[in-house]
Amino acid sequence: YALFAFASTEGVAAAFCAALVLTSLVFAVLHTMESYRLKENPDNTSGVQGTRSRLLRKSIGLFNYGTCAAYFILLVFSRLDDVDSNETYCKWAAGLQVNVYMLSLTFLYRVLLARASLIDSCDRYRCFIKFSWTFLHAVYLPTSFTPYVSMVAGTESSLHYEIDGHMRCADDPELVLFVVFGAIDLFLSVACVGIFVHMLCSSMGELSSGLVRRLVIRNSAFGITSTIVTLFGFVTAATVTESYGYHPIKFGWVLNCFIVTINVLCINFIWEYRFYARAIRWALNLAPLPPLDSPKSNKGEIVALALKDSKQTSTPGRSSAMPSEC
């Protein structure tokens, strides 16, 4: 009840939303600056791996800008009226909470799948990646709009409950929903991170073991952290709903924003610090970082690893492979 009261305090949910909007906006701007820098210094990469590299840049941009826009809408919505005192507003809030959260997760998994596809230059996991990409857009994302369907159809019941002596806006989702979507999120996260780490480890013989080790550690650490935090959110929401019979909307907003903020940090910190340093120095018109005679010199470690073989081989009709023997 103390947590519910804290989340219902004036301005708390809005503060969490504002922090998330600012965080995602900062990373969105940094990635945009780096994209403009690359346009001034094109790498002339073509073929399958060049396309996948561009898809990864577009996916991380969509993740950052999309999350920023979605939670800015939630921020504005939270300031228009008090959901605890307006039943109609409460029903819209319940749908919006689910919608923006699943939208941000869709953008997140687009990044993970695009990253796995880029490093899987031999297409060993092509079927899984293609199926997951289709499922994400054809099934997972549309499901987030089901609360609006129930509301328009008039099948949504009253969402106000007496909590700690106050009428609060809350919903009562079925436990099976938390189990199903929690399992889907866990599977996609573990699979994408697992594919990426496996492909990196398989390159040990061709690339600097120190570089690969740093990549494996950083990607594993941030990937696992993001997975655990997302799973924690589903477990917490399910536990609250089962224990009390309802899930307060404002509490959900705070939990929602906290989890997505951690996800934004984890996904963006997968890119090495030099990536952001290059973008900032370019924007400030400072001298560029000295080039390194290593795969992470210009495009970033992840992209360069996947494209490395395309610079060393010129076999026609073949996508860049890493390692060189697929």
What distance in Å separates the CA atoms of residue 244 and residue 134, rounded to the nearest whole number?
37
Point out which residues pair with 107 in neighbouring strands.
Answer: none
Contact 38, 283 (CB under 8 A): no
Q: Report the 3 state secondary structure along 59-80.
A: HHHHHHHHHHHHHHHHHHHHHH
Lookup: tokens for 11: 């301005």
What distance in Å separates the CA atoms of residue 86 and residue 200, rounded to the nearest whole number?
53
Phi-psi region of 117 (alpha: psi -120 to 50; beta: other; left: phi over 0): alpha
Q: Within 10 Å of residue 206's Cβ, how many Cβ atoms?
A: 15
- Order of strands, sheet of 166-171, starting from the edge strand that comes earlier in the sequence: 160-163, 166-171, 247-248
- Whole-model pTM: value is 0.81
Per-residue pLDDT of the chain in tens (326 residues, 90 and over written 9): 556 555 556 667 788 889 999 999 999 999 998 888 777 665 555 567 778 888 888 999 999 999 999 999 988 887 777 777 777 777 778 778 888 888 899 999 999 888 888 887 778 888 888 998 998 888 888 887 776 655 554 445 446 566 666 677 777 777 788 888 888 888 888 888 888 777 777 755 555 566 667 777 788 888 889 889 988 888 888 888 777 777 778 888 888 899 999 999 999 998 888 888 888 888 887 766 655 444 444 445 555 444 444 444 333 444 444 444 45
Q: Within 10 Å of residue 225's Cβ, how many Cβ atoms?
A: 15
Q: What is the pLDDT of residues 148-190, one digit of tens each?
A: 655 554 445 446 566 666 677 777 777 788 888 888 888 888 8
Q: Within 10 Å of residue 326's Cβ, how many Cβ atoms?
A: 12
